[in-house]
């Protein structure tokens, strides 16, 4: 039996990614479907649902869930499950009018020109974009990157369950270091971690962040660090470079970083970060931000890049 907390809102992960055999059939079937273009953010959200990081979602949100998510961080379709940011798919008015309720469509990544999945459209609705921004980001300032993405969406949202057919370029381009939630949880189990701290950063990690991780190691079995990367790094969709930190064999919680000298090292220049490495083991990976491996209360925390 697993020592870890269950994924958010579900007793187990709910990945929507098809296996290889299922993909072949669905790709052939999708050839005759209308294409709905995806933005980088929408493609990232689809991949998150594909690998189970957005468990228990089964597709893009309808209006009731969108409205409650904005107003009170809840999903009525899932017994008011806590969820802080809407996961939606937008389209132009012309495209939305051409799609019937119950029709299946192909979801197409405009950046990589790749079929990412299919969706059965169960709902079409318009939203107040400024309202979403003020509720979710607490601002409608166009300089805010989240506001920019919402305001640049199409005027109509399409909702419905999805079938995910691709993880894009991540498994190949980052082979050996790309990691899914299931793989992360397996790694926690292998290390016998039960109490895991999660640290997600939007900027390159510096000494104060390293100090936070160091403090967390003292009270937890390990630390899982999500270091976000975005378009400015030339990687397209948002990624997170993750680092696993834990104690060396034989060390007790109270012994890790127990002297003031090691703690003070975190206040020096970047080269002194080696002091952190001298008493912790590391494993670097590149992965999508994962909502299922965070400790209780942080399961759905994420950053959009």
Active site residue 202: yes
Nearest to 14 by CA among 75, 55, 46, 60: 55
216 contacts: CB under 8 Å, gap ≥ 6:
197, 199, 223
ω into residue 56 within 30 of 0, thus cis? Answer: yes
**Which residue among 19, 28, 203, 232 is the active-site one?**
203
Instruction: At 278, list the tokens.
Output: 């001298």
**Which residue among 77, 78, 191, 202 is the active-site one?**
202
Contact 49/10 with Cβ under 8 angstroms? no
Supply the DSSP string of the chain, one letter for each residue: ---SPPPTTSSS----B--HHHHHHHHHHHTTSEEEEE-HHHHHHHHHHHHTTTTT--EE--HHHHHHHHHHSEEGGGTTEE--S---EEE-HHHHHHSPTT-EEEEEETTTTEEEEEEE--EEEE--HHHHHHHHTS---TTSHHHHHHHTS-SEEEEEEEEE---TTHHHHTTTTEE-HHHHHHHHHHTT--SEEEEEESS---HHHHHHHHHHHHHSSEEEEEEEE-GGGT-SS-EEEEEEEEEPTT--GGGTT-SHHHHHHTTS-GGGGHHHHTTEEEEEEEE---SSSSPTT-TT-----
Active site residue 203: yes
**Residues involved in catalysis:** 202-203
């Amino acid at each position: 039996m697993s020592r870890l907390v269950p994924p958010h809102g579900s007793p187990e992960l709910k990945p929507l990614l098809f296996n290889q055999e299922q993909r072949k059939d669905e790709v052939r079937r999708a050839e005759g479907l209308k294409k709905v273009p995806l933005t980088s953010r929408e493609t990232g959200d689809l991949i998150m649902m594909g690998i189970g990081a957005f468990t228990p979602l089964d597709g893009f949100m309808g209006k009731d869930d969108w409205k409650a998510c904005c107003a009170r961080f809840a999903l009525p379709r899932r017994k008011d499950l806590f969820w802080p940011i809407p996961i939606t798919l937008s389209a132009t008015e012309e495209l939305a009018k051409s799609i019937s309720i119950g029709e299946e469509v192909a979801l197409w990544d405009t950046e990589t020109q790749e079929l990412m999945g299919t969706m059965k459209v169960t709902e079409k609705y318009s939203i107040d974009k400024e309202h979403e921004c003020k509720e979710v980001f607490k601002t409608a300032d166009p300089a805010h990157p989240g506001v920019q993405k919402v305001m640049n969406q199409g005027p109509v949202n399409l909702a419905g369950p999805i079938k995910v057919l691709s993880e894009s370029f991540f498994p190949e381009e980052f082979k050996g270091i790309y990691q899914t939630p299931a793989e992360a949880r397996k790694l926690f189990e292998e290390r016998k971690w039960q109490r895991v701290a999660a640290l997600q950063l939007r900027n390159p990690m510096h000494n104060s962040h390293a100090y936070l991780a160091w403090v967390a190691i003292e009270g937890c079995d390990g630390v899982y660090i999500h270091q976000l990367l975005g378009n400015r790094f030339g990687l397209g969709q948002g990624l997170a470079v993750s680092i696993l930190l834990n104690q060396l064999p034989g060390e007790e919680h109270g012994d890790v970083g127990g002297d003031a000298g090691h703690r003070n090292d975190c206040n020096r220049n970047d080269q002194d970060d080696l002091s952190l490495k001298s008493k912790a083991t590391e494993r670097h990976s590149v992965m999508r931000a994962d909502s299922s491996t965070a400790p209780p209360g942080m399961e759905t925390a994420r950053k959009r890049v």
